[in-house]
Structure 1
C-alpha cells in the first residue's frame, strides 16, 4: 500500500508539473476548438519501447549502493523463479521500488505480475501505476511508453469486466491523453460519471479536457462541482484558477490559486502562486 508520504509527493509533483505545463501554453487554450480542429483528430500513439532491464538500471542510479545490492539479489531471484513464485517476486519488487519512490520500475513489475497472473485487480494496479508515471514524469519517452502501457493494462481490465468503473475511467483517461480517439475517451468518462457522479478521477479529467479544448466555462462548472461535492484538492483549485484567469476573471482566479497554495503547502507552488497573484493584481 502506498505510504502517505509517497502519495503527497505524487500530488505535489503533479501540481508542479501542471504549473509548468499550463503556463507554457497559449492562455486561450491548449487545443483551440476551431483553429486546431485537425490537430485534435485521433492519433494512434506510436511509442518506442523501454525494457524492464533499462528502467531498473536507470532507477538504480538514483538509490543507495546498499539498496542496489538488495535489488540485484531480488531481481536474480525473480529471473530464476517461475509460476506463482515469479508473480510473487514481481509484486515484491514492485512494492520495494514504490517504497523508494521509483514508480517506473514499480509499474513495469506490476505489469509483469499481471501477465503472470491475469486478473482484474492486477491489471488495474498496473494501469494505475503507469498513469501515475505518465502524470509526473518529465521524460518524453517514459511518458509515451507509460501511456501506451496504461492503455494496454486498462484494455485488459475492461476485457475481464466491461462494467468496472475503475477500468473504464483509466481507459478513458489514456484515450483522452492520446492513446486512442479522444472523443471516444470523453464518452467513456461521461458514462462513468453518469453511473457514479462523484467519481473524482473521471470528473477531474473531464475538467482538464475542457481546459485543453478551450471550454473554460465548462471547466469552471466541472471543477466547482468537484470542490463542493466531491473533494477539495490543490489541483482542483489550481485548474479552477487557470480557467477563471483564461476568461479574465481575475479575482476569482486569485481566490482559487490561493486555495490551491493553502492546501498544497508546497514551496515551489507557493512561489509560483505568489508571482501569479501579483501579476493578476496589476
Structure 2
C-alpha cells in the first residue's frame, strides 16, 4: 500500500503536471511549474549578477517564427541600431522592443527594453523591462534562457525598488523573482504579503501567492487565495488553479465546477479538450 507521504508526493506531482500543461497554452501564470522540472533554475538563491544573452542568436530564432516581411523590417532596424550611437541608438532599441512585442516575441523585446532602462535609469523604464523579462521567462521554452532572464528581471526590479521602495509594482515583481529562485522563497513571500497587506486587491501579488501555495502543497491556503482573487476579478487561470487545489484535496465536485468555469472563460479549444478529459476522470471518482 502507498504511504500517506507517497500519496502526497504523487498528488503534488500531478498538480505540477497540470500547471505545466497550463503554461504551454494561452493561459499564463506568474510562477511557472518549470521550477519543478530539470529544466528549471535550481532551488535556492541564484547569482545576483544578470547573465548575458546573445541578442543576435535570440533575434535569429525570433525571425524564424515571424513572417518574412516583419523579419526584414527588424533586420533593417537592427542594422541601424548596430551603427548608431547616443540617443539615436536607444531610440532604435525602443523601436525594436515594440516591433518584437507586436509579433509576440518577448525575449528580444525584453532585452531591448533592458537596454533602454540601462540608459534612462527611470522607475518606469525599469518596471517596463522587468515586466517584459518576466513575461519572457514565463513563455520561453529555451531552458538555457530561464536563469539569465530571471536574473535580469530581478536586477530590473531591484533597480526600480532602489528608486522607489514604496512602489508596489516594483516590490511585487521583485518578490516574484525571489520566489522563483532569486533568493530564499520566504523572503519573496514576505515581500508579496506586504504588498497584499497594503493593496488587498493586488491581483499579481495574490496570484503569485496562490500558485506558490499550490506548489508547496498548502492547498487549503491556495483555495482561500484563489476564491479571494475570483471575487476581485474572475479569470480562467484563477479558476484553473482553484480546480487543481480542490482536486488535490479530493474535493472532486468543487474541482469540476472550477474547471468548467475556467473552460468557459478561456474559450480555448486545446484547454477545453484537456478540461473535458479531467472532468470525465473526476466524475468517475464521485
TM-score interval for Structure 1 and Structure 2 normalised by the shorter chain: 0.7 to 0.9
- Give CA deviations for 1:183-242 in whole Å, capped at 9, x if unaligned: 1000000000011010000000000111111000000000000001x2101000000000
Q: What secondary structure, in the 3-state scheme, does the structure 2 residue paired with 1:13 have?
A: coil
- Does 2:228 align with 1:225? yes
CA distance 1:160–1:90, change in 2 (3 Å) = same
The CA RMSD measured in Å over matched residues stands at 2.4
Question: Of residues 133, 136, 140 in structure 1, which corresponds to 2:139?
Answer: 136
Confirm or deny: 8 A CA contact 2:51 2:152 kept in the other structure.
no
Task: Report the Cα offset of residue 15 of structure 1.
Answer: 2.8
Question: Of residues 224, 238, 245 in structure 1, which corresponds to 2:247?
Answer: 245
Gaps of 5+ in 2: 1-21
Confirm or deny: 8 A CA contact 2:179 2:186 kept in the other structure.
yes
Gaps of 5+ in 1: 1-9, 26-38
Question: Of residues 15, 19, 34 in structure 1, which corresponds to 2:27?
Answer: 15
Alignment partners' CA distance in 2, 1:185 and 1:21: 17
Equivalent in the alignment of 2:91: 88
Query: Given the two structures, how large is their TM-score scaled by the length of structure 2?
Result: 0.84
Equivalent in the alignment of 2:215: 212
Question: Of residues 184, 190, 199 in structure 2, which corresponds to 1:181?
Answer: 184
Question: Of residues 163, 168, 183 in structure 1, which corresponds to 2:166?
Answer: 163
- Does 2:119 align with 1:107? no
Q: What secondary structure, in the 3-state scheme, does the structure 1 residue paired with 2:191 have?
A: helix
Query: Given the two structures, how large is their TM-score scaled by the length of structure 1?
Result: 0.85
Equivalent in the alignment of 2:202: 199
CA distance 1:14–1:147, change in 2 (3 Å) = farther
Alignment partners' CA distance in 2, 1:268 and 1:14: 9
Work out the number of aligned pairs and report it. Answer: 256
Question: Of residues 50, 54, 58 in structure 2, which corresponds to 1:51?
Answer: 54
Task: Report the Cα offset of residue 16 of structure 1.
Answer: 7.3
Equivalent in the alignment of 1:153: 156
Question: Of residues 252, 255, 264 in structure 1, which corresponds to 2:266?
Answer: 264
Alignment partners' CA distance in 2, 1:121 and 1:131: 15
Task: Report the Cα offset of residue 147 of structure 1.
Answer: 1.1
Greater than 4 Å deviation, 4+ residue runs: 45-48
